[in-house]
Amino acid sequence: MRSIVATCLIVCSTVVSGETRAQGIAFGPSPIYAGQDVAFRAALGSCPEMPVVSAITVVAGVVTVGYELVQPAGSACFPGSPPRPYTQMLGSFPVGEYELRLEGTRGGVALPTLAAPFEVLPIPPNPPFAHLEFVDVDRRIVIGTSPTLDIVVLATGATGAPVAGANVFAALAWFFGLPLKIDAFGFSGFGSSVLQYVPPQPDPLDPAWTDVTSADGTARMTAPLLPGGVVVVAGAWPGPGRAPVAFANVVALERPPTGAPVVAVEFHHAALDRYVLVSNDDEVAALDRGAFVGWERSIGAVAVWPSRVSAPPGAVPVCRFFSPVHTSHFYTVDPVECDALEARWPGTWILEGREAFFVLPPPDPRVPACPVGTQPLYRMYRDVPGPSHRYVTGDRLRNAMVAAGWVQEGLTGDRSNMCVPA
């Protein structure tokens, strides 16, 4: 994915219950270049309805997204609330002209189709520099009720030499119109970092997020963060094709955690739609350099304790399994479940370790709460295609996954069998 500029907004109209309602379909990045992941945003349904995508097809340049509007359990809106904007990744496309068609249903009744064109352009030749990377930013833990992050970005050319005078920006990936790292549910991070509509920002961007590289190729910024596990992105400004972008996972905690936690990051295999949460430094580095084909950094980041020595009293180890049959990972804090899975399905589920990382258990299984200073790490399950698990924090993301057919495993209701720093 390469750097991008402002958002292209295409407005179309539809008739809903006898009234004409303006519907905006925004594409990002804009312009769109071959090899970039394309996303769209549209206001679908009425608050608090949520679209659940059933299929995405591409035929002869027409990209059709089928969806159903559902009412998430426990969701509410203030009087007069507008429809919630919905964002969906479409993947990358070859150079050419395309049409996006949104075909939805509500309660089995077809909704008016929304349509808008978009174009994919060839990547501009001879970008002035070849590589961007964060310096001592990735997998940072930041503390505070209004956290800020010191950001250092290094720009280098094709030979690896630093590039001075490069106009570089960094941002939270939920700024639509900037480089995108969004999951299938429209989130750009765990916790409270639900994707929200932010109007395209004027040029120049907020100075807190922009700088020109110095003689050593570095740009330095200090910028505010959202709480939770978020994705920070760096790219070139202005204009696309200037350089690859860089992503970093950061966790913002409200208070200093007990012990010495590290940041576990989520990786996603798009072709298989599988997730894995990784805290080991060597494994993260191997996944980042492509040692395991198909796995890429996702939006997820969460603080965990890497060892018993680093964990607070009462912490418990997490068993980690891998299934070569299903290309799927599984974690549990229950030693009985760990032993049973290893004994019942040898070869199907392989025990990779009994201490993948450490978490805290709920103080009382009958009480739907984690210890003070921690939050639930929910274990989500889906059996299509084959057994798949995802481990997330934040009720909003958990609820969005449940609405899309995932099941929360573990104890009843809001109870979690894993608690991590909050």
CA distance 232 to 419: 24
CA distance 164 to 129: 10
Note whether 38 and 72 are within 8 A (CB): no
pTM for the whole thing?
A: 0.71
CA dihedral 382, 383, 387, 388 (to 10 degrees): -30
Q: How confident is the model at residue 236 (pLDDT cuts 50, 70, 90)?
A: low
Helical ranges in 3-106 per DSSP H = none
User: Could you state, in order of their start, the residue ranges of all structural domains in the chain?
Assistant: 8-121, 131-253, 262-421
Note whether 245 and 203 are within 8 A (CB): no
Q: State the pLDDT at residue 19.
A: 26
Quick one: average pLDDT of 320-328? 95
Domain 131-253 sits in CATH 3.40.50.1370: no
Which range (49-58, 71-80, 128-137, 333-342) has the least confidence? 71-80
User: What residues contact 207, with CB distance under 8 A and at least 6 apart?
Assistant: none
Q: How confident is the model at residue 412 (pLDDT cuts 50, 70, 90)?
A: low
Per-residue pLDDT reduced to its tens digit, 381-392: 998 778 999 999
Note whether 155 and 162 are within 8 A (CB): yes
Per-residue pLDDT reduced to its tens digit, 187-212: 878 865 444 333 333 333 355 677 88
Check pLDDT > 70 for residue 268: yes
Per-residue pLDDT reduced to its tens digit, 56-108: 999 999 999 999 998 877 677 776 677 777 878 888 899 999 999 999 999 99
- Averaged confidence pLDDT in the chain: 81
Residue 207 phi/psi, 5-degree rounding, is -60, -25
